[in-house]
Amino acid sequence: MNISKVIVIAEAGVNHNGSMELAKEMIIKAKEAGADIVKFQTAVPELVMTRSAGKAEYQVKLTGDQESQLEMCKRIHLPIDSYKELKSYAKKAGIEFLSSPFDLVSIDVLEEIGLATFKIPSGEITNLTYLEKIGRLGKRVIMSVGMATLGEIEAAVTVLERCGTKRENIIVLHCNTQYPTPYEDVNLNAMLTIRDALKVRVGYSDHTPGIEIPIAAVTMGACVIEKHFTLDRNMEGPDHKASLEPQELSAMVQAIRHVESALGDGIKRPSQSEQPNISIARKSIVAARAIRKGELFTTENLIVKRPGNGISPMRWYEVLGQIALKDFEEDELIKI
């Protein structure tokens, strides 16, 4: 994973609705949009939730309460043996494949197919044995921390590190798990708190409507942006309404690249593109009227005008009182 630029993760999640055909189409759309990574969710639903586990409020609103969370997840998740094929398909498409495991078996499956990076979803950061298992892999880790306190994040990072994952290989994504997230609940400044307190690289996993908040996160130093996308926001399913459609994902990626390029290296100096403007926009010391050789330069016979390729006006007092070594016509650049 190249971290010299902002990494954009297109979160397909379960927006394929359990269809391998749609999952493959999402890989192509993520690549076309310019994302660096396309990410799915890997789970054995029976190992993730009990039969009585309830749905989130937004899930009930979007999918009803006729089926349990377990029944819904069994319906919209891909079979556990699908991910090797998806990873191969993504490789051929030219985009990195990633998937979040939601249980211990899924960690094994993703390790077996050769994932170089493991993505920990927000709900697992208090799952000790899960964290230990990923930590022992010694891979790069991206961890979302929605719903967490700073202390819980620190504890999770400590577990990963204790089990063999180097802190420099951990990226923490600030996140809010409400779909969609109210703008007033985003708290982007918390991303900086995490960075400064835990000395880790940070990013942002977004569930707000639109694309402006991820772009703002980039201006604040996010090195990874994750955003849900869907082929059609009107499809049935729990996450489609809070997802971008392909053209919106493309607009977000383009905007991030523009902002990333505009941030620069922080050194204040004339840019290459504005160098020609220096002599045009700045001014020089010039003759206010004709000046004869031997005259003293005074405030009466000197003036400051464009262009700026002569003596800088910052040397005004150095020039005053000197003797003209030649004749100068009105508006001629002064030389000393």
- Name which of 79, 118, 124, 127 is nearest 100 in CA terms: 118
The answer on 330 and 309 residing in a single domain is yes
Instruction: Kindly report whether the global pTM for this prediction surpasses the value 0.85.
Output: yes
What does the DSSP 8-state code read for residue 330? Answer: T
The answer on 278 and 231 residing in a single domain is no
CA distance 120 to 138: 14
Give the domain-ending residue among 242, 263, 284.
Answer: 263
Mean predicted confidence (pLDDT) in 131-153 = 98
Q: Which residue range(s) make up the domain with 334?
A: 270-336
Q: Establish if 1 belongs to a structural domain.
A: no
**Sign of the C-alpha dihedral computed for residues 135, 84, 253 and 232 taken in this order:** negative
Give the domain-ending residue among 229, 263, 297.
Answer: 263
Q: Confidence class of residue 91 from pLDDT cuts 50, 70 and 90? A: very high
| pLDDT at residue 182, rounded to an integer | 96
CA distance 111 to 332: 75
- CB of 69 within 8 A of CB of 50? no
Q: Establish if 46 belongs to a structural domain.
A: yes
Query: Could you report the per-residue pLDDT of 292-318, keeping only the tens digit for each?
Result: 999 999 999 999 999 999 999 999 999
* Total domains, the chain: 2
- Residue 136 dihedral angles phi and psi, to the nearest 5°: -70, -20
| pLDDT at residue 191, rounded to an integer | 98
